[in-house]
């Protein structure tokens, strides 16, 4: 084996690779803004909570889609599994403590993800797409059929969720507790995902996305990695669903539907997938736009959304963050020669 | 005897529905098989065709058959333009981009139809000859269902002949099996694909018009039945006319029977069956191994 040249560790490429995972100076900004929102807009905390939950859900999708490259249309299956876990446990008076309830929701969703991932991830392409779609549709039908437990089409409402730490009430009309609770859970999950994608495990996921054949050839346990990634992503999506059910005190079939799965996909792509913060940008942009437009001009909103998707797919494959990065690079390359 | 008649009439209803499914889905199967393009907007073309047919009949007072031809031509032309201008840019792109692009197209179709024509269901009045019942010897049955079955058989026969016996059919089969090899033999894939794409969309338009009687015709059509069309294609195998035909009949009959005996869990049963089947044979029931 040849020895690397002395001083190799000081090479810019080596430094860049070794420092990839370190927090950047700007990374606290989103969290400070989220906290500031709590104090500045106390009247809009319901909307803020919805945005935070959406970010969490989009991050779960980013893990499978952006990093492992699994194109799924059925991510809402796990969101719904988590939401119904919380909903059914609370409604039937079995368990209503929020934090343990949330962990249970994540575990149930992870179990669904593990079970389906184990069989689905043997396939690729259109077949995989169809299988994720059918799995979600199957769960939706099951929830519709078992209306004695799930409330069927009407869902379950006025869930009796216990106060957080036994002290802080969840008030659906004035969701102060919910906002901070969701923010804390989002932060924990984000730190986990961030650590994961920069770990060797995360690197191997990127390798699988870029060239699955080569990863097989170098001896990486491709399927095991994919199933593990799918399971973790399902757990996070389940937590997002569970926390959504706790914050709103209801669940319905919409948590399992194609609408929700397609929306989160759009959000992630709008922000830019495979880059962690795309979920934040996409969720905020989409939710703000839909908040103001979709109620006033629902049809024009759908038309504009469709147009946006077509444009993104054709011209801006990396979303808003991708455009911003390209602009930054151009700006720097203009300045560099001087 | 009564039971036998029941079974027969149920089968006829299911087969008629299956024929419509086949007419809509066959284009999707061939385009997916040829280019590997995940076209989720196919249901939108069926809807567009259905609208063109229903509106032409109502406003211009033209006959059902003339309206069907009109719907076919309009939809084929629109889809050919879209294919050249937009679809062609995404052939090498990732599945995700194709999915996003076609979902975007579906949204735009739904929204523009709602804006221009309105959100309500468009009734499609069948000509008087096709209404009513026909005597089949052992039972009376709805004329229109029998007509649908006959049309379906004629179309599948025609497509089979075109696929197996014409030069262009041979080129399509060659391109589905091995596109690179077909290209190196001098087959103009781009032209071939535009033609098949336009023809497939035209067929979808026919299906949209023929099936409007029991599938309805409202702006949500493009998404509502998409999963069914995709299931038919996935089960039948990509780029196989006969495979799609059998799959469509199977799904049509199953759906019809299950709606009667298990009105609650019928759809769930079909989804479950599709999952099992695709796990057993990822390339579909009738697809080639390497697809």
Question: With an 8 Å Cβ cutoff, are A303 and B111 in contact?
Answer: yes
- Which residue in A115, A123, A126 has the most chain B C-beta atoms within 10 A of its own C-beta, making it the best mutation to test that interface? A126
| Chain B residues with beta carbon closer than 8 angstroms to that of A120 | 279
**Does some domain include residue A181?**
yes
Q: What is the pLDDT, as a whole number, of residue B1?
A: 52
User: Residue A224, exposed/middle/buried by CB under 10 A (0-12, 13-18, 19+)?
Assistant: exposed
Q: What is the pLDDT, as a whole number, of residue B272?
A: 84
Q: What is the pLDDT, as a whole number, of residue B124?
A: 78
Q: What is the pLDDT, as a whole number, of residue A2?
A: 64
Q: Residue B289 pLDDT > 70, yes or no?
A: no
Q: Residue A338 pLDDT > 60, yes or no?
A: no
Confidence of residue A78 (pLDDT cuts 50, 70, 90): very high
- Contact residues, B window 23-52, toward A, CB-based 8 Å cutoff: 32, 36, 38
Q: What is the pLDDT, as a whole number, of residue A157?
A: 78
Measure B277 CA to nearest chain A CA, in Å: 10
| Chain B residues with beta carbon closer than 8 angstroms to that of A126 | 32, 36, 38, 95, 234, 238
| Chain A residues with beta carbon closer than 8 angstroms to that of B38 | 126, 129
Q: Are strands B133-135 and B140-142 parallel, antiparallel or unpaired?
A: antiparallel
Confidence of residue B291 (pLDDT cuts 50, 70, 90): very low
The token pair at B15 is: 């087969």
User: Residue B184, exposed/middle/buried by CB under 10 A (0-12, 13-18, 19+)?
Assistant: exposed
Q: Residue B264 pLDDT > 80, yes or no?
A: no
Give Cβ neighbours of residue B136 (< 8 Å, ≥ 6 apart). Answer: B146
**Does some domain include residue A90?**
yes
Domains and CATH numbers, chain B: 2-280 (1.10.3470)
- Is the CB of residue B21 less than 8 Å from the CB of residue B228? yes
What are A96-148's pLDDT values in tens digits? 888 888 899 999 999 999 999 988 888 877 778 888 988 888 888 888 888 77
What are A262-311's pLDDT values in tens digits? 889 989 988 888 888 889 999 998 888 888 777 777 778 888 888 888 88
The number of distinct structural domains making up chain A is 1
What are B26-72's pLDDT values in tens digits? 888 888 877 778 888 898 999 999 999 988 888 888 888 888 999 99
- Contact residues, A window 98-127, toward B, CB-based 8 Å cutoff: 119-120, 122-123, 125-127
Q: Is A134 on the interface with B (CB under 8 A)?
A: yes
What are B70-97's pLDDT values in tens digits? 999 999 999 999 999 888 888 877 888 8
Cα gap A185→A169, rounded to integer Å: 17
Mean pLDDT for the stretch of residues B249-275: 82
Nearest residue of B to residue A126, measured between CA atoms: B38
Q: Is B291 on the interface with A (CB under 8 A)?
A: no
Q: Is B170 on the interface with A (CB under 8 A)?
A: no
**Which one of B38, B94, B101 has the shortest CB-CB distance to A129?**
B38
**Does some domain include residue A229?**
yes
CA angle A264, A149, B264 (to 5 degrees): 80
Question: With an 8 Å Cβ cutoff, are A309 and B271 in contact?
Answer: no
Mean pLDDT for the stretch of residues B190-203: 89
Q: Sign of torsion, CA B212 B214 B220 B222?
A: negative
Give me the DSSP letters along A133-144. Answer: HHHHHHHHHHHH
**Does some domain include residue A212?**
yes
Q: Residue A183 pLDDT > 50, yes or no?
A: yes
What is the crossing angle of helices A222-248 and A98-120, to 10°? 150
Nearest residue of A to residue B272, measured between CA atoms: A138
Question: With an 8 Å Cβ cutoff, are B227 and A317 in contact?
Answer: no
Confidence of residue A329 (pLDDT cuts 50, 70, 90): confident
| Chain A residues with beta carbon closer than 8 angstroms to that of B230 | 130, 133
Q: What percent of chain B clears pLDDT 90, i.e. is strictly above it?
A: 11
**Does some domain include residue A53?**
yes
**Does some domain include residue A32?**
no
**Does some domain include residue A318?**
no
- Which residue in B30, B107, B236 has the most chain A C-beta atoms within 10 A of its own C-beta, making it the best mutation to test that interface? B107
Nearest residue of B to residue A317, measured between CA atoms: B97
| Chain A residues with beta carbon closer than 8 angstroms to that of B279 | 119-120, 122-123, 131
What are B137-176's pLDDT values in tens digits? 777 778 888 888 888 999 989 988 888 888 888 888 888 8
Cα gap A192→A185, rounded to integer Å: 11
What are A209-245's pLDDT values in tens digits? 888 889 888 888 888 999 999 999 999 999 999 999 8
| Domain, as residue range, for A73 | 43-280
**Does some domain include residue A202?**
yes
Q: What is the pLDDT, as a whole number, of residue A3?
A: 67
Question: With an 8 Å Cβ cutoff, are A269 and B278 in contact?
Answer: no
If we measure between CA atoms, which residue out of A318, A255, A227, A237 comes closest to residue A281? A318
According to DSSP, residue A251 is labeled B
- DSSP three-state, residue B141: strand
- Contact residues, B window 95-124, toward A, CB-based 8 Å cutoff: 95-101, 103-112, 114-115
Cα gap B181→A35, rounded to integer Å: 60
**Which one of A130, A258, A313 has the shortest CB-CB distance to B104?**
A313
Question: With an 8 Å Cβ cutoff, are B105 and A306 in contact?
Answer: yes
What are A141-177's pLDDT values in tens digits? 888 888 778 777 777 777 777 777 777 777 776 777 8
Measure A305 CA to nearest chain B CA, in Å: 7
């Amino acid at each position: 084996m040849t020895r690397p040249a002395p001083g190799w560790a000081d090479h810019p490429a080596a430094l860049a690779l070794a420092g990839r995972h370190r927090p950047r100076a700007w990374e606290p900004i989103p969290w400070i803004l989220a906290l500031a929102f709590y104090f500045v807009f106390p009247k809009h905390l319901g909307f803020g909570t919805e945005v935070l939950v959406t970010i969490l859900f989009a991050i779960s999708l980013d893990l499978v889609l952006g990093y492992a490259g699994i194109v799924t249309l059925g991510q809402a299956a796990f969101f719904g599994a988590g939401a119904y876990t919380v909903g059914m446990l609370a409604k039937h008076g079995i368990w209503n403590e929020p934090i343990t309830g949330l962990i249970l929701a994540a575990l149930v969703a992870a179990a669904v993800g593990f079970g389906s991932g184990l069989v689905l991830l043997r396939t690729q392409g259109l077949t995989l797409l169809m299988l994720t779609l059918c799995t979600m549709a199957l769960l939706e039908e099951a929830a519709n059929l078992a209306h004695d437990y799930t409330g069927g089409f009407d869902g379950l409402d006025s869930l009796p969720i216990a106060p957080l730490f036994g002290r802080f009430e969840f008030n659906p009309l004035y969701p102060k507790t919910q906002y901070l609770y969701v923010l804390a859970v989002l932060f924990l999950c984000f730190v986990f995902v961030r650590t994961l994608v920069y770990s060797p495990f995360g690197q191997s996921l990127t390798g699988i996305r870029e060239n699955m054949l080569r990863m097989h050839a170098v001896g990486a346990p491709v399927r095991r990695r994919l199933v593990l990634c799918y399971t973790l992503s399902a757990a996070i999506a389940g937590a997002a669903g569970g926390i959504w059910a706790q914050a709103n005190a209801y669940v319905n079939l919409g948590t399992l539907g194609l609408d929700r799965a397609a929306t989160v996909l759009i959000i992630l792509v709008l922000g830019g997938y495979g880059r962690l913060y795309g979920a934040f940008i996409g969720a905020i942009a989409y939710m703000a736009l839909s908040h103001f437009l979709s109620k006033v001009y629902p049809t024009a909103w759908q038309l504009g959304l469709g147009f946006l998707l077509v444009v993104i797919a054709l011209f801006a494959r990396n979303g808003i963050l991708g455009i911003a990065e390209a602009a930054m690079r151009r700006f720097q390359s203009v300045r560099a020669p001087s | 005897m009564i039971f036998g008649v029941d079974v027969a009439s149920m089968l006829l209803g299911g087969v008629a529905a299956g024929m419509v499914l086949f007419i809509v889905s066959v284009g999707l199967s061939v385009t997916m098989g040829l280019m590997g393009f995940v076209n989720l907007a196919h249901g939108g073309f069926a809807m567009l065709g259905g609208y063109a047919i229903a509106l032409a009949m109502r406003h211009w007072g033209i006959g059902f058959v003339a309206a069907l031809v009109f719907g076919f031509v309009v939809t084929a032309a629109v889809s050919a333009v879209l294919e050249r201008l937009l679809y062609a840019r995404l052939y090498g792109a990732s599945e995700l981009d194709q999915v996003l692009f076609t979902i975007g197209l579906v949204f735009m179709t739904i929204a523009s139809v709602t804006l221009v024509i309105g959100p309500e269901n468009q009734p499609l009045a069948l000509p008087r000859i096709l209404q009513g019942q026909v005597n089949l010897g052992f039972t009376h049955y709805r004329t229109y269902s029998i007509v649908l079955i006959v049309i379906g058989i004629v179309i599948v026969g025609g497509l089979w002949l075109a696929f197996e016996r014409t030069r262009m059919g041979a080129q399509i089969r060659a391109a589905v099996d091995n596109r690179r090899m077909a290209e190196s033999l001098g087959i103009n894939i781009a032209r071939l694909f535009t033609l098949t794409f336009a023809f497939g969309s035209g067929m979808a338009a026919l299906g949209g018009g023929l099936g409007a009687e029991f599938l309805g015709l409202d702006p949500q059509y493009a998404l509502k039945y998409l999963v069914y069309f995709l299931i038919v294609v996935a089960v039948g195998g990509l780029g196989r006319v006969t495979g799609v035909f059998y799959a469509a009949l199977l799904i049509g009959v199953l759906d019809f029977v299950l709606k009667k005996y298990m009105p609650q869990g019928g759809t769930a049963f079909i989804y479950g069956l599709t999952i099992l089947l695709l796990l057993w044979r990822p390339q579909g029931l009738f697809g080639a191994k390497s697809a």
